[in-house]
Chains A and B, each alone.
Chain A
Amino acid sequence: MPEAILFVVLAVIAVAAGVAVFRTDSMARASYALAVSFVAVGLMLLQFRLEYIGVITVLMMVMEMAVMAIFMIMFMGMNPALMPMDMVHSKKLSAGSAIGLFLLLTAGILLADWPESRGPAGGDLTASLGEAIMEPKMLVMLVISPVLFATLVSALVLANPRGRYSTYPLVPVEDADDDDGQGKGQDHSGDSAGHAAHSAHGMDHGAGNSDGHGQHHDGGGHQ
Chain B
Amino acid sequence: MTLELALIAAAALFCVGLYGALSQQVVVMVMMGLELMLNGVILAAAAFWWFLAPAPDGQVLLLVVIAAMTVEMAMGFAVAILLHRSRQTDMTEMASDLAG
Contact = CB atoms under 8 A, between A and B. Distances in A.
B22 interface: yes
Contact of A21 (B15, B32, B54, B59): B32
A18 B66 contact: no
Contact of A15 (B13, B53, B70): B13
B81 interface: yes
A64 B9 CA distance: 23
A159 B78 contact: yes
A19 to B, nearest CB: 6
B59 A158 contact: no
A137 B16 contact: no
Interface of B is mostly: helix
Interface string B41-52: 011001101111
B2 to A, nearest CB: 8
Interface of A is mostly: helix
Given A75-B80, A98-B22, A159-B81, A15 B9 contact: yes
A137 B58 CA distance: 11
A66 interface: no
Given A132-B59, A137-B60, A152-B74, A93 B22 contact: yes
B46 A133 contact: no
Contacts of A91: 23
B60 A48 contact: no
A161 interface: yes
Interface string A12-46: 00110011011000010011001001100100110
Given A27-B28, A49-B50, A110-B4, A147 B78 contact: no
Interface residues of A, number: 82
Interface in B71-88: 71, 73-75, 77-82, 84-85
B29 A53 contact: no
A62 interface: no
Given A22-B16, A27-B29, A147-B67, A7 B5 contact: yes
A99 B99 CA distance: 26
A148 interface: yes
A87 to B, nearest CB: 4
Interface of B: 1, 3-9, 11-20, 22-26, 28-29, 31-33, 35-36, 39, 42-43, 46-47, 49-57, 59-60, 62-64, 66-67, 70-71, 73-75, 77-82, 84-85, 90-91, 93
10 contacts: A21-B36, A89-B93, A90-B23, A118-B54, A119-B54, A128-B59, A137-B57, A151-B70, A155-B77, A158-B78
Minimum-distance CB pairs A-B, first 7: A121-B54, A94-B23, A11-B9, A98-B19, A132-B56, A94-B22, A155-B78
